[in-house]
Amino acid sequence: MKADDLPSVFRRVFTYIHYALCFAFFVIIAYSATVGAFATQDGTTPSTPSSLSLSDADGQKCLRDLDALLEQLHRHARQQFDTAHEKTAVRSWNDWSEQWRRALTSLNLHCRLKTSASMKPALKYAKNIERIHLSYDNAFRAYFKVGHKASRKIDEWTNEQDR
C-alpha cells in the first residue's frame, strides 16, 4: 500500500463506520417509535381488556370505559392527521387532547385505579393508554413544528407548477 492511498483507505473505513452508526441510529429510533413506545417497563406489550381479569362488574365497566377512551384516541388521531395541514389544527388538537386527558383522569379517579389493589391490571392498561396518547401528541407536535412548514412550501411549489 502506498502512502498516497492511505487517505482514501481511511476515508472508506470511516465512511463505512458512518453508515453503520447511521443504520444503528435508525434501527434504535424505529424500535423506540414502534415497539418501545408501547412496551411496559418489564418489556411486555400493553394488556388488552380481554386479557385482564377483573371479576367484579365495576372493574369490567372501568375496562370498557378505558377501551372506549382508547378507541376515541385512535379515531381522533386519524382524523387529526387528515386535517393537519389546516391552520387551526394545532389549536384543535390541543383543545381535544386536554379534554381527553381530563376524561382519563376523571375515569382514574372514579374507578380508583391508583388506590385499589384489585384495579392494578386496569391501572397498567390506563398507563399504557397514556403512553399511546403521548406518542400521538409528540408526533403531532413534531409535525406542527417541522413538517407543517415543509408541507406548506411543497403545496406552494405544486401550485406554482400547475399554473
pTM confidence score: 0.60
Give me the pLDDT at residue 45, please. Answer: 47
pLDDT digit string, tens, across residues 102-128? 999 999 888 888 887 778 888 888 999
Over residues 20-72, the pLDDT tens digits come to: 876 777 667 766 666 655 555 555 544 444 445 556 777 788 889 999 999 99
50-56: long-range pairs with CB below 8 Å, 24+? 52/121, 52/122, 52/125, 53/121, 54/118, 54/119, 54/121, 54/122, 56/118
